[in-house]
Chains A and B, each alone.
Chain A
Amino acid sequence: MTNQIPSLYHKKSWRSLFNRPETMTFTLLILALVGASLLSEYFLDVNYILRSFTLTAELSIAALVLTMVIISGEIDLSAAANIALSACIFAYVQASGAPMTLAILTGLFAGLVMGSLNAILVIVYQLPSIIVTIGTLIFYRGLAQVIAGDKSIRVPEWFIGVNTKMVLGVPFPVVIFTATAIILGLVLGTTIYGRQIYQVGTNNTAALHAGIKSNRIKFGLFVLLGVVSSACGIMAASRLGSVRYDLALGGELQMVLMAMLGGTYIFGGRGTILGTFLAAWLLVIVSTGMTVANLLPAIQLTVLGLLLIVAIIATNFIYSRARR
């Protein structure tokens, strides 16, 4: 009897590995790597992949926080517009002669305000986050257009090039992304706060009865996403050297796509940071592979749209099988 239980346990854990959506993401990642290296022999150059990753690092970092928001049962489509608006505010403030620290603080504060506005509308006024964040998406992007107009605002020469700074041979944005993933992964996976996020997302009413302050948790997540997005916006300003209102236009697709490909359940309660982490790399490999294969940006858009649909069908399928 006693030696049966561990073996049973062992068998079950093997099976559950197949039921985990991260396994799907990981398999796809390997497949994409193999496929891309067949396309071009130069592809499997680690430095090339790392450099390509810096192009979407901002969206990937914000997508990590978005994953937590989705797990808690809400969604935020305004994060990409937030990146654009805080970058525009940051660039505008420093272009008007303010010191760099003040400009960065203003940018971060703008992110805090945007996150709080989302949170207030969703939690205090109890409006559905889907529609609210579509509204704020248009609003933030529109404000960015008001501030920057049709021109681009330049940032000073010495501030440009966060993506070329290396830490032990790895570009700085990749380091930030990995560090954020580790911290958030630990918070979500090992702390009480993290478990509470899952509980809130699985069943909000039950969580309330269990004494979890679900509103406070959701509020915190929206604000966190707001601040992180604005930090990403400032990073994007440093990478690009100038800021336009259409920065990260359509980025909400890629961010939701990363979360979905990583196996986050759209109805909340399931998902991991590891999944989104892997999915971010998968997307980089796929889009770099498409660029190497000389596909038009429009076709890449089509592929991303298709991937989103396939990813959400696959995760839903895996979860419905796991429940049985």
Chain B
Amino acid sequence: MKPILKFLSGREAGIFVMIILFCTAVGIYKPHFISSNSLRIILLLVPLIMIGAMAQMLVLVARHVDLSMGSMLGFSAMVAGLMYRDMPEIWWPIGFLVAVGTGAVLGLFNGLLVTIFNLPSIIVTLGTLNLYRGLTFIISDARQINRANIPSELKAMSQTSPIFGIPWIILMSFAIALLTFYLVRYTQLGRQIYAIGSNPNAAPLRGINVTKVTLIVFIISGALSGLAGIMYASRWGFVNPSNTGMGFEFQVIAAVVIGGVSINGGVGTVLGTFLGVILLGCVAAALPLLGIPGTTQSAIYGSVILIALLIDRSVRQRATANTKRSRA
């Protein structure tokens, strides 16, 4: 009973209610929105954002931010795509290893710059955002990896499913969410990420190796961006140096901030992030149905981020007011 009560009073319940309200409102206006088909559309929209959001959540909890995710996604997808194009006989799952590995290296580079030189992650990743995007053009010779070059088994992962008709990539993104839940809930590393985010000065006094934890967080962010990259290739069947992953970081930040992850570090739950991603997916799926043109999408994401920030602030204020009252 206790966990249920805790859920009902928390931030996650608020997002959950918002999802229900939003879907009901759209469902009344356009009844065929509530169907298993639109559920499928929503779920197919979210796997990449889900994986990115889990990584960005960890980064934000550690009191950093990673703006280079979209470029890491693009670069890793391109490396895997080039491998498929130039070595067609290779066993296709190697692409996963290559993409995740490439992403991890890019993330490590971000992490090293942040930790060794003690630089603010926002500026570092603003730099690498452009650096990695430029490198993607260079390694690909500014040419697209076409549909014919992506193995059909990989493309099939977005269509076929092992159980319940849920495609592989959706199951994978849910698995990543579960793994992240396990990481932050039950491992020492996970708790250390929260510790350095809540108080970066106190964490080393408790014997936490802040440099190591920060590095790992950035490596995870890169590796998961790489995973999202190979899933992009699976989902869309091409890799384009300029489009692939463009603006990905903004969607991810929107989802994470909606999910109640604090931008001041130390606060954020996997469930909240998960629901934030789903809410964003519902909005994205409902827009074309409501006849709202795709050009408004970015404006909606932007305003959603700002509104979420304001809600987050008022929630935090009420929380501190409550502690003060109970202390008095």
Contacts and interface: CB of A to CB of B under 8 A. Distances in A.
Nearest to B292: A146
B302 A150 contact: no
A142 B302 contact: yes
Interface string B99-122: 000000000000001000111101
Interface residues of B, number: 46
A19 to B, nearest CB: 18
A139 B306 contact: yes
Contact of A132 (B124, B299, B309): B309
A139 B298 CA distance: 7
A296 B142 contact: yes
Contacts of A170: none
Interface stretch (B129-137, B160-168, B181-189, B271-279): B129-137
Contact of A306 (B118, B127, B241, B263): B127
B322 interface: no
Interface stretch (A46-54, A123-131, A189-197, A205-213): A123-131
Contact of B135 (A125, A252, A302, A304): A302
Interface in A276-295: none
Nearest to B136: A298
A167 to B, nearest CB: 34
Contacts of A256: 123, 126
A316 B134 contact: no
A142 B296 contact: yes
Interface stretch (A2-10, A98-106, A220-228, A307-315): A307-315
A266 interface: yes
A302 B303 contact: no
- For this complex, into which size category does the number of interface residues on chain A fall? 35 or more
Contacts of B117: 312-313, 316
A137 B252 CA distance: 15
Interface string B274-307: 0000000000000000000101111111110110
Given A128-B263, A146-B296, A256-B126, A316 B118 contact: yes
A218 interface: no
Contacts, number: 144
A146 B296 CA distance: 5
A94 B180 CA distance: 52
A138 to B, nearest CB: 4
Interface in A110-155: 121, 125-128, 130-132, 134-143, 145-146, 149-150
Interface string B29-71: 0000000000000000000000000000000000001010000
A145 to B, nearest CB: 5
A266 B318 CA distance: 32
A130 B257 CA distance: 13
B315 interface: no
A156 interface: no
6 contacts: A131-B65, A135-B257, A267-B120, A305-B131, A309-B131, A316-B119
Interface of A: 75, 77, 121, 125-128, 130-132, 134-143, 145-146, 149-150, 250, 252-253, 256, 260, 266-267, 296, 298-306, 308-309, 312-313, 316
Given A252-B126, A301-B133, 15 more contacts: A121-B306, A127-B310, A128-B263, A130-B65, A130-B263, A132-B306, A135-B302, A139-B299, A140-B302, A253-B127, A266-B119, A299-B137, A305-B133, A309-B131, A312-B119
